[in-house]
Amino acid sequence: MKAESSNTSRLIHRTIIWALCALILGVLWMYISRAPSTLNMSVGPPPSPKEGFSAPDFTLELLDGGQITLSGLRGQPVVLNLWTTWCGPCREEMPAIEKVYRDYKDLGLVVIGLNLTSQDSEESVAAFVQELGLSFPIALDRDGSVSNRYQLLGLPTTFFIDREGVIRSMVVGGPMSEALIQSKVKNLLSENP
Q: What is the pLDDT along the chain (193 residues), one digit of tens a residue?
A: 666 666 777 778 788 888 777 777 766 666 665 544 444 444 555 556 889 999 999 999 999 999 999 999 999 999 999 999 999 999 999 999 999 999 999 999 999 999 999 999 999 999 999 999 999 999 999 999 999 999 888 999 999 999 999 999 999 998 999 999 999 999 999 986 6
Domain residues for the domain of 24 are: 1-40
Q: What does each C-alpha distance from 76 to 43, 72, 141, 170 come to in angstroms? A: 32, 9, 22, 17
Task: Indicate whether 96 and 185 sit together in one domain.
Answer: yes
Question: Would residue 46 count as lying in a domain?
Answer: no
Nearest to 55 by CA among 120, 135, 112: 112
Task: Indicate whether 80 and 172 sit together in one domain.
Answer: yes
Nearest to 49 by CA among 152, 124, 139, 125: 152
Task: Indicate whether 110 and 35 sit together in one domain.
Answer: no
What pLDDT score was predicted for residue 36? 46
What pLDDT score was predicted for residue 59? 97
Question: Would residue 54 count as lying in a domain?
Answer: no
Question: Would residue 137 count as lying in a domain?
Answer: yes
Question: Would residue 21 count as lying in a domain?
Answer: yes
Question: Would residue 16 count as lying in a domain?
Answer: yes
What pLDDT score was predicted for residue 100? 98
Question: Would residue 45 count as lying in a domain?
Answer: no
What pLDDT score was predicted for residue 35? 47
3-state secondary structure of 166: strand
The tally of domains found in the chain comes to 2
Task: Indicate whether 65 and 102 sit together in one domain.
Answer: yes
What pLDDT score was predicted for residue 41? 45
Question: Would residue 47 count as lying in a domain?
Answer: no
What pLDDT score was predicted for residue 38? 42
CATH code of the domain in which 122 resides: 3.40.30.10
Task: Indicate whether 135 and 169 sit together in one domain.
Answer: yes
Q: What does each C-alpha distance from 41 to 37, 55, 161 come to in angstroms? A: 7, 24, 32
Task: Indicate whether 36 and 82 sit together in one domain.
Answer: no
What pLDDT score was predicted for residue 7? 72
Question: Would residue 162 count as lying in a domain?
Answer: yes
